[in-house]
Structure 1
Amino acid sequence: MSTVFNFTFVPWFRSVAPYIHMHRGKTFVVGIAGEAIAAGKLQNLAQDLALIQSMGVKVVLVHGFRPQVNEQLAAKGHTPKYSHGIRITDSVALDCAQEAAGQLRYEIEAAFSQGLPNTPMAGSTVRVISGNFITARPVGIVDGVDFIHSGLVRKVDVDGIMRTLDMGAMVLLSPFGFSPTGEAFNLAMEEVATSVAAELQADKLIFVTEVPGIRIEPHAPASEDNPIDTELPLAAAKQLLASLPTPTEPTDIGFYLQHCVKACEEGVERSHILPFAVDGALLLEVYVHDGIGTMVIDEKLEELREATADDVGGILQLIEPFEKDGTLVKRDRTEIERDIDHYTIIDHDGVIFACAALYPYPESKTAEMAALTVSPQSQGQGDGEKVLKRIEQRARAMGLKSIFVLTTRTMHWFIKRGFAQVDPDWLPEARKRKYNWDRKSQVLVKKL
């Protein structure tokens, strides 16, 4: 038993190490839906957040309290009222919100204080500090609806939060804010988390929610072949939002997505939507290569896009050294010009840093990914993975079931990313005819 454990633990731990280094010293704003706490997930979430913090991440935790406030209202014989997806907070609802927030703060602080032996919290000291870091203003009257004590974020005390984080404490924010005259306003957790992430210029905004993530084709039936999109470029996320009706319920596709998009537009490079139903979702998203939820990523610094005729010269320049040393099969200019619409590239200020081509074999429900190349200047920065993900998206959109590569040198890179070796006889007939038996390329396949 222990030998098996050693064999799995050591490679696993080594594979996690790069992410531990990458996130040390970074700031994450984590918004936890009240539904997660109502579903009994607080204990495990607290343990995972304590673990993430112990690995050098600065954590701001914002809790929601939608079901808890509704429970308090029901106990008082009142019905929750919403409009435009925002709670209408009358004086009874404000009392209920303050009671629910007080109760939840105690529960959250207690969860972070349980350093019991034989639990992940053993030996950990997590100081949780909350305070009046948020100044609010009233929502006011919208389309004739008076939102009374419902508010929006006016100002975030960035210095106060940063000083608290630098002391090594975790900052806990309730969805409450106070006006300069001391009036209390009920805020939305999603808006608080988004505003705080933008003001702090956090490295990540993470929502732990009741939805499993986002699928670009929301109306397609969910199946093994159609999982969520683990990565959504900001442009694709905005396009998707524009095609959806205005979200009002947390389970609407655009509900959390609109906040992720806003955060990315305001300088937060990565925003995530994770399901609380999956135990360890936070750890899986932050420390495992493919993650578990949907990540909206701002790619403004570099553009990941399909190639055009203007890119032929740049692609030739990129692949030429690799053709010379035999890593890639030689392609001439006319071939690349003819196939240019098969290529996906990453360009940074007009310079092409990575490329790959997709050649579909629709009759075999597969496609070849060819000429995957990353410039030596940007190797190790994830450009190869970005291109691979986009090629996978393109293949999925064509209704294909797999992609394959032929390689002589980079087999391990592909195996780490979910490809499996097959016999060259597996190849579609049309591709088998062109297979160069002298080159002895390995054939690797990834199911989509």
Structure 2
Amino acid sequence: MSNATPDFNSQHFEVAGFIREVFGYMERFKGQLFVLKIEDDLMSHPLFPVLMRDIAILHKAGIRIIIVPGTRNSIDAQLKAWELESSFYAGVRLTSEETLPHIEQASLGVAQHIMSHLTASGLRGIQGNWVLARSMGVIDGIDYMRTGRIERIQRDILDQLLDEKFVPIIPPIGWNKLGHAYNISSTELATELCKYMKVGKLFFIGNQNGIKLDGLVTGKNTKYLEPTESGVISAMDVDQAKELLELNSDQLDFAQMDYLMNAIHACEAGANRVHLLSGEFQGSVLQEVFSARGDGTMVYANQYSSIRPAIMEDIPDILRIMQDYIDKGFLVPRTQESISEKLKDYVVYSIDNSIHGCGALHEFENGMAEVAGIAVAANYRKSGIGDAIVRHLISVGRMKGYKTLFLLTTQALDWFYHFGFVDGTVDELPPTKRDHYNKKRHSRILMLPLDK
């Protein structure tokens, strides 16, 4: 007999679940292309070498990587050193003939700095210019001079370099067919790569640790967004991102609005995921890649998480997730056979095709149904998954026309109260459930009328 304490068992389940998750994501992302825009103000941060090492870990795990350096701070410092003026209009730098050589020098310097760190981590970085650009010209009376727009990215060269295990570093300088240089936006460059390359993930890595939900106005699509423990919106789809932009033009700062707009554009261009996260926290990139709930904010184009009917292949995961609850006495034991017999009653919460929560709605006589088997993987219990499953089962109960839902619980009374459940008695249970009520376990009974 094991002498392990409940806390030790919880930690064991959490660690084991995390290990499974990491291996699952490693297999999923192997061979995919990640584009990383890295802000240059991180280069002076003590953890910058750690960030570069973590990027090397991604590459060694079989992930293909392109890096786009953000260069705004380095350009500002270079121009200040030469006592040159630089102005912006609508967030875009106006590049004069006089400032362009200094902007080029600063941009190439940032790329070289990143490449030296990649080399120190055992990677083969390669810096080059594979971007064709054209002048922005004059817009609404504003002459953008030597600021340009991207015309084309030389995908064939980048594909060849990626196949040869290089990490291309693309500074935000473009050239026209006559060899004239243009200063281009690094954010635009990172986003445009999603149009030319098949990008699995696009990262904006700076000092913003995601977008906080507190203080934002929410609407129909965003009212159920769940923040992390740090208050950050963990994930949203493109429609939710558009709604936040529309409703919060006064609450979001320029950087957050710029991220959301470019995240939407990148997803619409073909990127699966776009992440905003801070490079000032150790391991933030690895956690964002190898965990379904990282530290940053993610905008996704395709389905990221969903509650769906359980299938036979889900049964081992359902048993795995339930086991910690069973060990603590929160749930009665289930077997593969007992779940299989009532599989049509079960739903699972799936994130990137991994199961992290489950629940069931069992039909009884007298227009009643039981909410049962609610369980969430140990490392996702503060993610809102349990709430989502219960709300889904209540919705299913209404859709099927049940008059009353009920449940039996020993530890989660207060949690179920906030869904509208109220105290009930054994006599109120449907006859077949009442006849099998375990008096020794003495579970509390909660009821939720649906016909009101």
What letter is aligned with 1:262?
Answer: H
Matches within 5 A, 1:283-432: 283-299=286-302, 373-374=347-348, 382=353, 407-408=372-373, 411=375, 413-418=376-381, 423-426=411-414, 427-428=416-417, 430-432=421-423
What letter is aligned with 1:423?
Answer: Q
SS at match of 1:182: coil
The counterpart of 2:81, out of the listed 69, 75, 82, is 75
The counterpart of 1:196, out of the listed 193, 204, 209, is 193
- Which position in structure 1 is the counterpart of 2:282? 279
1:214–1:434 CA distance, 2 compared to 1 (3 A): farther
The counterpart of 1:155, out of the listed 148, 152, 159, is 152
Distance 2:150 2:442 in 1: 58
Please tell me whether residue 228 in structure 1 is matched to residue 236 in structure 2: no
What letter is aligned with 2:73?
Answer: P
Q: TM-score, normalised by structure 2?
A: 0.67
- Which position in structure 2 is the counterpart of 1:174? 171
The counterpart of 1:107, out of the listed 93, 105, 113, is 113
SS at match of 1:283: helix
CA contact (8 A) 2:304 2:351 kept: no
1:174–1:442 CA distance, 2 compared to 1 (3 A): farther
For residue 152 of structure 1, report the CA deviation from its aligned partner.
Answer: 1.2
- Which position in structure 1 is the counterpart of 2:94? 88
For residue 39 of structure 1, report the CA deviation from its aligned partner.
Answer: 3.6
SS at match of 2:119: coil
1:245–1:430 CA distance, 2 compared to 1 (3 A): closer
The counterpart of 1:42, out of the listed 27, 48, 68, is 48
The one-character-per-residue Cα deviations of 1:231-269 (angstroms, maximum 9, x if unpaired) are 111101112223344999753x21111111001111112
- Which position in structure 2 is the counterpart of 1:433? 424
Distance 1:295 1:248 in 2: 16
SS at match of 2:101: helix
- Which position in structure 2 is the counterpart of 1:238? 242
1:297–1:92 CA distance, 2 compared to 1 (3 A): same
Distance 2:195 2:425 in 1: 52
Q: Percent identity?
A: 21
Distance 1:65 1:139 in 2: 19
The one-character-per-residue Cα deviations of 1:124-177 (angstroms, maximum 9, x if unpaired) are x31111222110111111221111111111101111111110111111110111
CA contact (8 A) 2:357 2:377 kept: no
Between Structure 1 and Structure 2, whose CA radius of gyration is higher?
2
For residue 372 of structure 1, report the CA deviation from its aligned partner.
Answer: 6.6
What letter is aligned with 2:183?
Answer: N
CA contact (8 A) 1:406 1:441 kept: no
What letter is aligned with 1:432?
Answer: D
CA contact (8 A) 1:69 1:96 kept: yes
- Which position in structure 1 is the counterpart of 2:406? none
**Which structure's relative contact order is higher, taking Cα pairs within 8 Å and 6+ residues apart?**
2
For residue 200 of structure 1, report the CA deviation from its aligned partner.
Answer: 0.2
CA contact (8 A) 2:234 2:294 kept: yes
1:247–1:186 CA distance, 2 compared to 1 (3 A): farther
What letter is aligned with 1:241?
Answer: L
- Which position in structure 2 is the counterpart of 1:19? 25
For residue 380 of structure 1, report the CA deviation from its aligned partner.
Answer: 7.9
Unaligned runs of 5+ in 2: 1-7, 218-226, 313-317, 319-344, 360-369, 387-408, 445-452
Distance 1:107 1:302 in 2: 35
Please tell me whether residue 259 in structure 1 is matched to residue 233 in structure 2: no
Distance 2:39 2:216 in 1: 25
Q: TM-score, normalised by structure 1?
A: 0.67
